[in-house]
Structure 1
Amino acid sequence: MTDRDPAEAVNLDIYGSGPLPWSTAHDRLAAELPRADVPLFLGTVRPDGRPHSAAVGAYWLEGDLYFTSGPGTRKARNLAANPACTISVRLTGVDLVLEGEAARTVDSGILARVAAGYREGGWPAEVDGDALTAPYSAQSAGPPPWHLYRFTFHTAFGVATSEPFGATRWRFDR
């Protein structure tokens, strides 16, 4: 999938600001990920319906987010049962919540590009077969190798935290 424009933008601001352009969120995602200092949380649903949230490091590539997880982690087990999930992130000037689905990818070209992106961001990831490995990762990722997931979103909510203020919901064609 490639970067895409929203099919719909709805102004949610209650204070009179206009809708935020999607480029505000898009450009921040592209510029700020996969920096380790950018707080980003994956929300999944357990098989019994209870929510689960975990911090992940993500990489923005051609309109989708990629993140890693060990196959035995709660988030990976949740995604195996139900790929619907959210990603919440605080970027410079805008808070975002993205709704979509995540699926494991084993495409060697994508693995190589994402590993390179992670290295540029400071995490020394390498391709190891159909997964990624590195000398270290977050405790919540489980032991290596880590599976790579592609998060494709269909809805995004943005709230500006600096001028121009505003709040917008964007919907995207799948």
Structure 2
Amino acid sequence: MTETKTAPISTTNLDRYGSAPLPWSRACDVLETDTPTADLTFFVSTVRPDGRPHSAGVGAVWVDGALYFKSGPGTRRARNLAVNPACTVSTRLRGLDLVMEGEAHRVTDPATLERVVAVYRTGGWPVEVEGDALTAPFSAPSAGPAPWHLYRLTLHTAFGVAGAEPHGASRWDFAH
């Protein structure tokens, strides 16, 4: 396991059947191992300016202890995040359902863009950095045309429910 930059400040056991609290490292290990090569879909939920929810599937990667995802600047998701960065990201991992709550902010740092692009490429997506955004010959149809913005999720809280041994359910809180 790579040491994560995001370590919880507290863990709450939510299991009602006597299982031990789940360690955050379990989620991190699966995220690190399975993104971007496994067939995972992450659902980013944002809030429209009028308060209505919006959710959309995205391709995301776990890099150096943080979750990154992309979005076309004209998408509903990007427009919502520009007004209100609060969001949730949900996925079903190997043996663990995971919901992460926090704030997503656009990443423009060249070194971070290059590091994340390198991880996306290991999954077969021929993405490149162009200026402060990403470009590639293709992406999901819902992403809109390139260039795409990259976002980093800053975790506030996460919830995990294990569907495989060892079973359990936990809440992890993070400093923010």
What range is the shorter-chain TM-score in?
A: over 0.9
Number of aligned residue pairs: 173
**TM-score normalised according to structure 1 size:** 0.96
Equivalent residue of 2:155, what SS?
A: strand
8 Å Cα contact 1:104/1:148 also seen in 2 = yes
Equivalent residue of 1:79, what SS?
A: helix
For 2:21, the equivalent position in structure 1 comes to 19
Q: CA deviation at 1:121?
A: 1.2
8 Å Cα contact 2:37/2:122 also seen in 1 = no
Correspondence list, 1:43-122, <5 A: 43-122=45-124
Q: CA deviation at 1:171?
A: 0.4
- Please tell me the residue identity of whatever aligns with 2:160: G
Select 1:156's aligned residue among 150, 155, 158.
Answer: 158
Superposed CA deviations along residues 99-118 of structure 1, whole A, max 9, x for unmatched, are 00001111111111111110
The CA distance in 2 between the partners of 1:147 and 1:117, in whole Å, is 16
**TM-score normalised according to structure 2 size:** 0.95
Q: CA deviation at 1:61?
A: 1.5
Structure 1: tracts of 5 or more residues without a match: none
The CA distance in 1 between the partners of 2:38 and 2:161, in whole Å, is 22
The CA distance in 1 between the partners of 2:122 and 2:62, in whole Å, is 12
Q: Percent identity?
A: 66
For 2:148, the equivalent position in structure 1 comes to 146
8 Å Cα contact 2:14/2:168 also seen in 1 = yes
Give the aligned CA root-mean-square deviation in angstroms. Answer: 1.0
4+ aligned runs moved over 3 Å, structure 1: none
Q: CA deviation at 1:5?
A: 2.3
8 Å Cα contact 1:29/1:91 also seen in 2 = yes
Q: CA deviation at 1:36?
A: 5.6
Structure 2: tracts of 5 or more residues without a match: none
